[in-house]
Structure 1
Amino acid sequence: MKKTHRLAVAVAASAALSLGLAACSTDGSTVTAGPSNTPSPSTPGPSTPSSPGSSSPGSTGTATVAAEHNDADVAFAQQMIVHHRGALAMAQMADRRAQSPQVQALAERITAAQGPEIDAMSSWLRTWGQEVPDGMSIDGMSMDGMGGMGGMSHGPEMTGMMSSEQMDELEGMSGAGFDQMWLTGMVAHHEGAVEMSRTEQDQGANPQALALAEVIAADQTAEIDEMNQLLEQL
């Protein structure tokens, strides 16, 4: 399944801004984040379509980001980190349990894209003096009051994430049944990420966060279409 990147220029600009080039704050100073402690996943081989997040901040040890930001940018980064970790957990299951090669390949692409995006957003939050979520939640508490996307918590309330019970059920499945549940769950998960990205585009201020939100919305919309086609083939 070919994946069309409608925003190739935006992808390149985002990668250059957030992962390679120094960005300037409102007073003209450069703000550089500390090194990421999270190892980046391996980049897929040449036959795997490239993803917007495939240039890992771990390759240079630092990520740079503009100092300008608002509450919506912080909420986007914090909540998208948690959201991406949920996708990575699902992708790891597919490696062991999926029957469809297309599902396995998609899971690998999700890991390759979203792992480096977690690294980048974590670096941004450290630069801004904000908390980096630990695990699948922020101190295990609700995310109320965290900017423009407050009111979300780990679980089904967090824009498409599977509940713990659903994750346990998926963990116990394999074969065609796993593929069906995985694709259905990942479609909902991606729809949540697109919704969160649209909110960032409407309310955010930081140029790197806005660029990443644009890429996530475009790429995950394309993957939703891909997964719906796979579901029709099951």
Structure 2
Amino acid sequence: MRVVLAVVALLLAGCGSGATPAAPGYNAADVMFLQMLIPQNQQGIEIVRLAAARPLPAELKELAAAIEVTQRTEIDDMRRWLREWNQPDTTDLNPQAHAGHGGLKMMSPDLVGALKAAPDGEFTRRFLDVLTGQQQGAIELAQAENGAAGGVNPQARELARRVIESRTAEVKQLLNTKA
């Protein structure tokens, strides 16, 4: 009788050859968050790189450099996670493809192009506006990841938490900078 109880206990615990595989440590929301944040971060890097060659206050140049390093590191992490999950690291960049779940949170290429073409005298004000909007987009993506219908992966959720915290602080700093 003890042998039968031991066998039953092992089967109930999921031991043995009949065990069901563990559920993946991520869901579709995690994948979508990472796939959407990668191009969003790439665009952020494109925007902050414009600061290097333009006349901006030193504090803004420092912030831009810090944003670039942070977002590059995030991209590396996100791509690694997606590879580990056997998921593509790209998503359809057509904004209509994502309308059902809040849409892409990227700045219009026209706004980025206008920023590139802005005369030096207008660049600081436009840079502040474009970068603020771009960082707000990252916050919205991260809030969706950590929302009730969001992701389940602890790493992705922690990244989302850090994005909300860091981008909120950056937006506050941008809003307090005089153009």
Matching residue within 50, 69, 74 for 2:26: 69
Match among 62, 67, 75 for residue 105 of structure 1: 62
Counterpart residue number, 2:97:
144
The secondary structure found in structure 2 opposite 1:144 is: helix
Size of the aligned set, in residue pairs, is 157
Q: What is the rounded CA distance, in whole Å, between the counterparts of 1:180 and 1:111 in structure 2?
A: 20
Q: Which structure 2 residues correspond to residues 44-193 of structure 1 after superposition, within 5 A?
A: 67-133=24-90, 138=91, 140-142=93-95, 144=97, 150=101, 152=103, 158-159=104-105, 161-193=106-138
CA RMSD of aligned residues (A): 2.2
Q: Which has the larger radius of gyration?
A: 2
1:115 alignment partner AA: R
Shift of 1:77: 0.3
Partner amino acid for 2:107? M
The share of aligned pairs that are identical, in percent, is 28
- SS of alignment partner, residue 176 of structure 2: helix
Contact between 2:112 and 2:130, CA under 8 Å: does it hold in 1? no
- Which residue of 170, 175, 179 maps to 1:228? 175
Is 1:211 the equivalent of 2:168?
Answer: no
- TM-score of the aligned structures, taking structure 2 as reference length: 0.79
CA spacing shift, 1:170–1:70, aligned 2, 3 Å: same
TM-score under structure 1 length normalisation: 0.62
Closer/same/farther in 2, CA of residues 98 and 84 from structure 1, 3 Å limit = farther
Shift of 1:150: 3.5
Unaligned runs of 5+ in 2: 1-20
Cα pair distance change 1:98/1:73, threshold 3 Å: farther
Which ranges in structure 1 are unaligned for 5 or more consecutive residues? Answer: 1-25, 29-66, 153-157
CA distance in 2, matches of 1:69, 1:143: 25
Cα distance, 1:139 vs. partner? 5.4
**CA distance in structure 2 between the partners assigned to 1:201 and 1:140 by the alignment:** 22
1:47 maps to: none
Deviations 1:7-45 (A, max 9, x none): xxxxxxxxxxxxxxxxxxx849xxxxxxxxxxxxxxxxx
Distance 1:142 1:229, change over 3 A: closer
One-letter code aligned to 2:117 = G
Deviations, residues 117-173 of structure 1 (Å, cap 9, x unaligned): 00000111111111112xxxx355457369xx7462xxxxx32x3212211111112
Question: Matches of 1:162 and 1:139 in 2, distance apart?
Answer: 16
Deviation at 1:99, TM superposition (A): 2.2
